[in-house]
Structure 1
């Protein structure tokens, strides 16, 4: 079915083709070229990140992180069940056991208060997922991690340009807090390159090796900087770095991040204000942004009381040519991992699986379309 209002529509700033043309005419379109360096430096400067390395996807960035912390068979990785499969796959590929945490009652992010009881001598890392770009309580997570000497890898796939204020009042960009962090520039994200991602390395012990793993296990980058007289195979690795054509597209997006974010926040607020009374009347939950977090307007969602209510709204929107979509299926109940899960019930993760619905959210969504979406939803229940 062709929808008049899709769930997502990629936005072009107008500079993408110019920068791609420049990359092509420069004579270097493979990885780690001019635009790759420009993107990485922009992100480091703007958000106070450690070393940034563009990757072909957030999945690749997560796989690099798993290699860097030396995940081995039997190691345990704590993460939410309500997340995308890549969060878990990166560590399963290294032989890890995934220990799933339930979601919070007030929002889909992991319940930070449940982490402590899941720590064992085999725990290697905690992977908080900043769902919808809204921060987890990073003070609680970092305190547990520090007490048990485990790594924290922020899955910030949805969290570009979002912040956390710690208990001392320090405002920090998501992705700058854990030992490492990963971002996505998939076409469904706020800032896009079609496919693409980034690994952020905040712990200096990983910086040199990260570059080697990124360059297929070679010290090629050191060679081009003149630090060694030849390069060779010095570690494990893979082809994680993207073409400079992708980086050129991404740079055009990053240059316009304030404009993109401002419009997305306008759309988010319009949904929130106009659905608030209806949602309260019908006991339907809207997104919550805690005091310690900011809202980057990655997503606007509704959490219904049951799957039947959600289906009713999906169908009502569909009749108007509007595509709305649910989100993750609990990973602990997935066909691949169900028998490997320890059997604990994770009721809130299952609740969001059955009851959460995402509304269209993209830069070019018009005010008329927003009003039709709101009108259709409020009349359906």
Structure 2
């Protein structure tokens, strides 16, 4: 079933291609339910072929993939990691777990991505990496971030949790920095319920990535016949998903282009219908730079004030429409204050996060429901 109940419009409703259950049954018949079976290998090859990365490794979540990046880069206590405050907690947690300090830098007004022009001033002798979070599937300015990283000898990690099938200057997100991470959580475009992937773009990191993912052992090399037994080699954990998750994901990857095109069509319809409201000064629509090819991951609007947002969300709730806000900036959270520090005022982060509303977007969202959402936006905003 790919449509939600008629009387409500949820924020998200996971799309099924129709092959998921058949592939799960096939995995069961194969007799291998643990990770790295035939479906996992298919997913790895697909991700490599479609991203151009050196190696792709499925993980049980994007959070796990981010935690692997911190281990791979040997992040240690006192190291500093530059990132936006406007992101999910996993971006920071992955490095805080290693004792590192997230350094929160302000975002751009247009894309809500890390402001590349404010990054260099935040670098200290303790800085080890820059984390580029591609918000809403719209790329950060990777050319500028990579240039800064080269000058200062830093790593670049792409948090491309929302970036599956999106591109920057023609390059898939997650394949541009030293390491990239993807999410297949049920709220994403391509889903497996829970799930993620680490994209390794530096060949020097591949072997250690496999070891870290397999509990610190060289088990992957053993199964390829490269060693006669596998042993504990390094730190690590159990980061790989089971084969049933990979089977579900394979059904999604086969239809990744079709899924993306359908989401983009819904995104474009919102964008066209909301143009008059933007022209009237009622809201601001998303901005996608010319060098970015987005993936229709989410559609958001920026309302004039935090009060306007509250009024709008309350009206959506009364009409059983699942419009929602997004991140509470990490620098304003108890853990963000405890573990991180800010560089600069983060004025844009505070302003944009207070005004942002995400609209329902899923395959199966009808034109009629989109029109209802847009009409409610127009009347609520005028009244505020």
Alignment-derived partner of residue 252 in structure 2? 253
Equivalent-residue separation in structure 2 for 1:342 and 1:90 (angstroms): 16
- TM-superposed CA distance for 1:62, in Å, is 0.2
2:109–2:352 CA contact under 8 A, matched in 1: no
- TM-superposed CA distance for 1:341, in Å, is 4.2
1:336 partner SS:
helix
Matched, 1:148 2:147: no
Residues 110-259 of structure 1: pairs in structure 2 closer than 5 A: 110-165=114-169, 171-259=170-258
Equivalent-residue separation in structure 1 for 2:118 and 2:50 (angstroms): 33
1:3–1:322 CA contact under 8 A, matched in 2: no
Alignment-derived partner of residue 345 in structure 2? 345
Q: Which runs of 4+ in 1 moved over 6 A?
A: none
Residues 21-32 of structure 1: pairs in structure 2 closer than 5 A: 21-32=25-36
Equivalent-residue separation in structure 2 for 1:185 and 1:3 (angstroms): 28
- 5+ residue gaps in structure 1? 166-170
2:282–2:378 CA contact under 8 A, matched in 1: no
Residues 310-329 of structure 1: pairs in structure 2 closer than 5 A: 310-329=309-328
What do residues 44-91 of structure 1 show as CA deviations (whole Å, max 9, x unaligned)?
Answer: 112212200000000000000000000010111000000000000000
What do residues 278-329 of structure 1 show as CA deviations (whole Å, max 9, x unaligned)?
Answer: 1221252110000110120001001112111111211222222111000001
Equivalent-residue separation in structure 2 for 1:352 and 1:51 (angstroms): 36
Alignment-derived partner of residue 77 in structure 1? 81
1:3–1:323 CA contact under 8 A, matched in 2: no
Matched, 1:266 2:281: no
Alignment-derived partner of residue 37 in structure 1? 41
Equivalent-residue separation in structure 1 for 2:215 and 2:338 (angstroms): 34
Matched, 1:48 2:52: yes
Equivalent-residue separation in structure 1 for 2:248 and 2:367 (angstroms): 27
2:101–2:341 CA contact under 8 A, matched in 1: no
Aligned residues: 376
TM-score between both structures, scaled by the size of structure 1 = 0.96
Equivalent-residue separation in structure 2 for 1:223 and 1:321 (angstroms): 54
2:96–2:339 CA contact under 8 A, matched in 1: no
Alignment-derived partner of residue 308 in structure 1? 307
1:99 partner SS:
strand
- TM-superposed CA distance for 1:378, in Å, is 1.4
Alignment-derived partner of residue 168 in structure 1? none
Equivalent-residue separation in structure 1 for 2:7 and 2:294 (angstroms): 28
Alignment-derived partner of residue 283 in structure 2? 284
1:194 partner SS:
coil
TM-score between both structures, scaled by the size of structure 2 = 0.96
